Structures are given as C-alpha cells and as structure tokens.
Structure 1
Amino acid sequence: MEDHSLKLLGGVTDKRCTHVTGPAPTMRVSGFLLLGGVTIRELPQAAASPAS
C-alpha cells in the first residue's frame, strides 16, 4: 500500500492480514483528510468469492 495523503487530525489504518499468497495489486491512497480517516479492511469471504 502506498499512502500519499495529507492528513490533518485524521489518519489511514490498514487492517488487512499481512500474509499474501502470490502477487497482489498495489493500493494507492491519495487525497486530503480533515478531521476524519480511512480504514482499509478485507472483504468477507462470501463477498470475495465469485457467484456461481
């Protein structure tokens, strides 16, 4: 994850698991956070699997 954001009284939190199996895309966070924040989480397993 790349964080290129400007934060004033806010922040960015990454709550994903650190174990990765295989190559993963790079997530870039950019913008302006004022009195707030961003939390990055993983999708639940039911939402992450494709519909059959």
Structure 2
Amino acid sequence: MLVLGRKPGEFVMIGKDIKVMVIKTEDGDLRLAIDAPKDIKITRGEILVHD
C-alpha cells in the first residue's frame, strides 16, 4: 500500500486517466474527488467490508 500526504487542491494520478484530488468543504471536512472514465468501477470501502 502506498501512503501519501496531500493538502487540499493537490492530487495524484493513477495511470494516465484517473485523477484523485483532495478537496476541502466549507465545513472544513476533507473529501476525495475522483475523475475517472465511466467504464472504471469505483466502490466505497464500507460497501465491501461486511461484519
């Protein structure tokens, strides 16, 4: 696993066409904005984890 520190407005590229950017909301929360082709499936982790 690769662990990176990123500030709001900074991003990482995965391959040539997937961009993951850290954004900050008005509340001060940090969120991820993911720009990827429509044929790439993106699933939140809590959907995959079952107790």
Q: Quick check: which has more Rg, 1 or 2?
A: 1
Structure holding more strand per residue: 1
Q: Do these two structures clear the TM 0.5 threshold for a shared fold by scoring above it? A: no
TM-score (norm 2): 0.25
Structure 1-normalised TM-score? Answer: 0.25
- If asked which structure has higher relative contact order (CA below 8 Å, sep 6+), I would say 1
